[in-house]
Amino acid sequence: MCSLKEAYRLFWIVKGHIAESDQTALDSYDGYFKRLWIDGSNGAPLSDYEEGFELAWKRKCSYAPMRCCSRKIVEVLPDNAFPVACAGCHKIVYGLADEDCQQIILKENIIVK
């Protein structure tokens, strides 16, 4: 089983975009892996096709639906944090670059009513 990010990476290399559902990316993984294995063996410049993926991935993560209950509450933001919009709780939350859409929230941003 691959990570969601890896499934989207292969989807990006083959299709040039990641505007698909998570399930579509995961379902495509095995076929795209075999396809790229053969293409790479035949000399295709696969690393060139990967260009732009990391930025697209960060954007996808920042607009992904967020589950408030799965966020870790932290005192200090790590260096790899970037702000994202929460469509659910409308609090300021942060995504973590290179951590497969993990999200955190600062303790000071939690308002107790």
Sequential pLDDT tens for the chain (113 residues): 578 888 899 999 999 988 778 888 889 999 999 999 998 888 888 888 899 998 888 777 765 544 444 577 788 888 888 887 666 666 778 888 777 767 888 877 665 43
Query: Where do we find the tokens 């060139």?
Result: 48
pLDDT for residue 106: 80
**DSSP letters for 17-59:** ---S-HHHHHHHHHHHHHHHHHHHHTT--HHHHTTTHHHHHHH
pLDDT for residue 90: 63
**Domain-wise residue ranges, the chain:** 1-63, 66-113
Sheet holding 81-84, edge to edge: 72-74, 103-106, 93-96, 81-84
The pair of three-digit structure tokens given for residue 16, joined into one six-digit string = 């040039």
Q: How far apart are CA 72 and CA 68, in angstroms?
A: 9
